[in-house]
């Protein structure tokens, strides 16, 4: 008997039992189910949610691998074991196995904890509520390790994931029903619960925190952190574009994120409207700050205000947030018109928060979470526009 038939028999024997969703979760990963259409049209398109989510995970893989190399690179750079020489994206000092190994052993545990804990919570809810296991966490589980500092203790990550999945998603009814982006909810939880592990100049480079205070202590600030303190930026623009800078695990390489964004637009999985309008929004805000920066010289805002407006796109988690988080269809605006407004405000607010928030010079997380909350309001007014048009049609007739 083939594997297919064996699994089919197990599925039949579990029907109606508590463990059915759990088995189904694994079974449907191996085989697309034998469900046929029961109402309405008799044929269906090729796409399902698993395929859709899988595209986003695929787009994230290059960022993950780059993050592993970068973790080692930043580590050895800070220790002074290697010297920084800018020589293009395929720079020989960066793509070394020793860099990769450092990153691999730090990042794989983050990925495993994220998936095991997150999917565990999903399984518990699926069994409790008797519905199928939904694939929303496939993407979230991959996003989370990429947006945290590399030295984050695993137990903190686990607690944050539980919080994010339960409060961010399951209490609203699961995949498709949540108001806030679950991955950002997890990050926001970490940010407010364990701020010393999530910000400052000691968390972005592997080993920096452990070594701090000792004789060979080193610091690893993000570029944004440097700028926020009004210091000169020591990194070249190309390095910020390629991603050879300290930061959260997977968000440093703007180049790879742009490629992933183009992939998502090409596959029609990610909304180009949101990505484009967010970039426009960021440029507009950045430009406004550039204009007023000269009058602010001497204030603590000057460093980031005077950063060239286009350079903001390359710094911090902006690009990552815009491509992977802002485009989450569930928490974004759902109407096409609404997406323009939603995206624009995310870009606009990201840069505003970045400049004005002294404690934490990255605004994209808070900007997206804020706009998540306002997305239904934006949609409401867009849909009302359609409703009003419909009412106008009658009025034109009756007059």
Partner 1 sequence: MSTDIKIKKGLDIKLKGEAKKELSNASRSKIFTVYPEDFHSIIPKLSIKVGEKVKAGDAIFYNKFASPVSGEITEIIRGEKRKILAITIHADATDSYKDFGAKTPSNLAEPQVKQQLLESGCWTFIKQRPYDVIANPANSPKAIFVSGFNSNPLSADVTFALQGKEEAFQTGIDALIKLTDGKVHLSVNGNDSFLNNIKGVSLHKVSGPHPAGNVGTQINKINPVNKGEVVWTVNAQDVAIIGELFLTGKYNTERVVALAGSSVENPKYVTTKIGASITSILDNTNIADNSRVISGNVLTGKNVGKDGSLRHYNNTITAIPEGDDYELFGWTKPVFNKISTTRALTFSWLTPNKEFDLNTNTNGEHRGFVLTGTYEEVFPLDIYPMQILKSCMYKDLDEMEALGMYEVAPEDFALTEFICASKQPHQEIIRKGLDLMLKEIG
Please report, as ranges, the residues that interact with partner 1 according to CB under 8 A: 4, 7-8, 28-52, 54-55, 132, 134-136, 173-177, 266-269, 271, 273, 329-330, 332-336, 339, 379, 383, 386-387, 389-390, 393-394, 397
Which one, 196 or 389, has the nearer CB to partner 1? 389
Q: Tokens 């440093």 label which residue?
A: 252
Cβ atoms of residues 150 and 204 within 8 Å: yes
Tokens 């009658």 -> residue: 394
Least separation in angstroms between CB 41 and partner 1: 4
CB 123 within 8 A of CB 25: yes
Nearer to partner 1, 17 or 50 (CB): 50
Min separation Cβ 308 and partner 1, Å: 33
Cβ burial 55-84 (10 Å sphere, 16+ → b, else e): bbeebbebbbbbbbbbbbbbbbbbeeebee
Contacts of 258 (CB under 8 A, 6+ apart): 319, 323
Task: Decide whether 165 or 293 has the Cβ nearer to partner 1.
Answer: 165
Q: Residue 225 or 270: which CB sits closer to partner 1? A: 270
Closer Cβ to partner 1, 109 or 176, answer by number: 176
Q: Is 298 left (phi over 0), alpha (psi -120 to 50) or beta?
A: left
Structure tokens, 35: 């469900």
| Closest distance to partner 1 from the beta carbon of 56 (Å) | 10
Cα separation, 379 vs 342, whole angstroms: 9
Quote the least distance from Cβ 135 to partner 1, whole Å. Answer: 8
Minimum distance from residue 214 beta carbon to partner 1 (Å) = 47
Question: Of 55 and 190, which has the nearer Cβ to partner 1?
Answer: 55
Report, in Å, the least distance between residue 32 CB and partner 1. 3
Residue 206 and residue 218: Cα distance in Å, rounded?
A: 10
- Which residue lies nearer to partner 1 by CB, 30 or 359? 30
Report whether 253 contacts 91 (CB < 8 A).
Answer: no
- Min dist. Cβ of residue 266 to partner 1 (A): 6
Longest CA–CA separation in the chain, Å: 85
Burial class (CB in 10 A: 0-12, 13-18, 19+), 22: middle
Nearer to partner 1, 38 or 196 (CB): 38
Question: Please, what is the minimum distance in Å from the beta carbon of residue 189 to partner 1?
Answer: 23
d(CA 399, CA 397): 6
For the record, the structure tokens of 203 come out as 């968390």
Are 134 and 178 in contact by the 8 Å Cβ rule? The answer is no
């Amino acid at each position: 008997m083939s594997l297919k038939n064996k699994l089919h028999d197990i599925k039949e024997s579990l029907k109606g039992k508590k463990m059915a969703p759990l088995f189904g979760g694994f079974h449907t990963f191996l085989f697309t189910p034998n469900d046929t259409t029961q109402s309405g049209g008799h044929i269906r398109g090729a796409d399902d949610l698993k395929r859709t989510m899988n595209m986003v995970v695929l787009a994230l893989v290059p960022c993950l691998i780059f993050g592993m190399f970068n973790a080692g690179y930043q580590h050895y750079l800070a220790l002074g074991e290697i010297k920084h020489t800018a020589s293009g994206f395929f720079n020989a000092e960066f793509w070394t196995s020793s860099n990769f190994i450092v990153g691999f052993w730090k990042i794989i545990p983050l990925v495993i904890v994220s998936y095991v804990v997150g999917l565990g919570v999903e399984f518990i809810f699926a069994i409790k509520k008797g519905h199928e296991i939904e694939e929303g966490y496939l993407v979230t589980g991959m996003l989370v390790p990429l947006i945290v500092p590399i030295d984050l203790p695993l137990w903190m990550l686990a607690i944050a994931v539980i919080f994010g999945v339960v409060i961010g998603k399951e209490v609203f009814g699961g995949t498709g029903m949540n108001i806030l982006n679950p991955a950002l909810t997890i990050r926001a939880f970490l940010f407010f619960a364990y701020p010393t592990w999530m910000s400052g100049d000691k968390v972005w480079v592997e080993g920096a925190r452990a070594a701090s205070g000792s004789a060979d202590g080193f610091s690893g600030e993000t570029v944004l952190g440097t700028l926020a303190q009004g210091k000169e930026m020591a990194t070249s623009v190309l390095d910020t574009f390629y991603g050879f800078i300290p930061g959260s695990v997977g968000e440093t390489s703007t180049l790879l994120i742009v490629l992933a964004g183009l992939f998502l637009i090409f596959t029609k999985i990610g909304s180009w409207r949101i990505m484009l309008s967010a970039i426009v929004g960021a440029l507009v805000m950045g430009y406004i700050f550039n204009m007023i920066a000269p009058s602010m010289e001497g204030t603590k805002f000057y460093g980031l205000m005077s950063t060239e407006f286009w350079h903001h796109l390359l710094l911090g988690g902006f690009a990552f947030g815009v491509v992977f988080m802002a485009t989450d269809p569930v928490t974004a605006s759902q109407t096409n018109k609404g997406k323009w407004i939603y995206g624009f405000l995310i870009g606009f607010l990201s840069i505003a928060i970045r400049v004005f928030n002294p404690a934490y010079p990255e605004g994209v997380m808070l900007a997206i979470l804020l706009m998540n909350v306002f997305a239904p309001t934006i949609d409401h007014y867009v849909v009302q526009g359609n409703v009003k048009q419909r009412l106008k049609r009658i009025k034109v007739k009756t007059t």
